[in-house]
Structure 1
Amino acid sequence: MRVMVLVKATEDSEQGFRPTPEALAMFEAMGKFNDELVKAGIMISGDGLTPSSRGKRVAFDGPDRTVIDGPFAHPNELVAGFWLWQVKDMDEAVAWVKRCPNPMMGPSEIEIRPLYELEDLQ
């Protein structure tokens, strides 16, 4: 099964990357974790996202399109990074997330969402 693993943004992550000793140590730990995921054949893709102030949204209403510039409110509802993993089941995904270094300097949250597979649509 494929899952998308979403690292939720925080007010701190929305300020952008600052190369503090703590942030650099977290990036090093995350790099080692990513290496483990690759070696285990779990990781398909993954990366960190820039703050929402650098992003845009496009709102659809019938034929109309409206472009909305960031930053966007409610950082805890935003995504700061992601992985795409191939796992045998949700339990395996949860086990890997539990091993993950904390992706933020303080409290944080990671969400795991299965992707639709062809057999789900039949």
Structure 2
Amino acid sequence: MARYMLIMRVAPEAAAEFAEADIDFNEVIEQMGRFNEELVKAGVLLAGEGLTGPEEGFVVDFDSDPPVITDGPYTEAKELFNGFWMIEVSSKEEAKQWARKIPLGKGVKVEVRRVSETSDFPMDNPWIKKEIQWKAELAEKIAAQARAEADKLA
């Protein structure tokens, strides 16, 4: 099994057209919800999140020392990173199949990248060993947060 990140990128023109269009946002949420539910039922969804607009973000440019921080929006950007899904599938081909099913329209692209696995690196490296431990601790923390959220809903 391999993990892939499906990165949603939207051209500014497409975002502007969407904002101007009379589209029922509840329908958009429903379409995306159906897709996410399909991922869950297939057992491949690990994570997925949408992102706020670029006006709430910033860019750190490492071309200078110290790095320069510029608040959004980013007028020089050709496309904005608007959200992602993290899936675990058996192959690159299966990742392609899921990416094609995302309910998106014109002006939107999904970049798909395989996520590096710990096994891609030398296992005798002390930092890789630490990363394995950090991931285990993070998984425990996320599980505890999910239990707390579930208890609130009960």
**Residue 69 (1) aligns with residue 80 (2):** no
Q: Distance in 2 between matches of 1:87 and 1:99?
A: 15
Seen in structure 2, the aligned counterparts of structure 1 residues 44 and 57 have a Cα distance that, compared at 3 Å, is same
Report the Cα offset of residue 24 of structure 1: 2.9
Cα shift at 1:117: 1.0
For 1:64 and 1:15, how far apart are their aligned partners in 2?
38
Higher mean C-alpha displacement, 67-76 vs 84-93: 67-76
Q: Percent identity at matched positions?
A: 31
Distance in 2 of aligned mates of 1:15 and 1:71: 17
| Correspondent of 2:55 among 37, 53, 56 | 53
**8 Å contact kept, 2:10–2:107:** no
* TM-score, L = length of structure 2: 0.66
Q: How far apart are the structure 2 equivalents of 1:55 and 1:21?
A: 25
- Which of 41, 61, 64 is the aligned partner of 2:43? 41
Partner of 1:4: 5
Secondary structure of 1:21 counterpart: coil
Q: 1:18 to 1:84 in 2, by over 3 A?
A: farther
Q: Distance in 1 between matches of 2:67 and 2:36?
A: 38
Cα distance per residue 1:57-89 (max 9 Å; x no partner): 22235751321111112242x211101111111
Aligned residue type for 1:81? G
Aligned partners of 1:17 and 1:43: how far apart in 2? 28
Structure with greater helix percent: 2
Instruction: Name structure 1 gaps, 5 residues minimum.
Output: none
Instruction: Give the TM-score normalised by the residue count of structure 1.
Output: 0.82
Find the residue that maps to 1:45 and give its secondary structure.
Answer: strand
Tell me how many residue pairs correspond in the alignment: 119
- Specify which structure has the higher proportion of strand: 1
Which one scores higher on RCO, CA 8 angstroms, separation ≥ 6?
Answer: 1
Ranges in structure 2 where 5+ consecutive residues have no aligned partner: 123-154
Over the aligned positions, Cα root-mean-square deviation in angstroms equals: 2.4
Alignment correspondent of 1:94: 96
* Cα separation, partners in 2 of 1:45 and 1:58, compared to 1, 3 Å: same
The SS at the match of 2:108 is: coil
Contact 1:14 1:52 in 2 (8 A): no
Match for residue 110 of structure 1?
110
What amino acid maps onto 1:41 in structure 2?
A: G
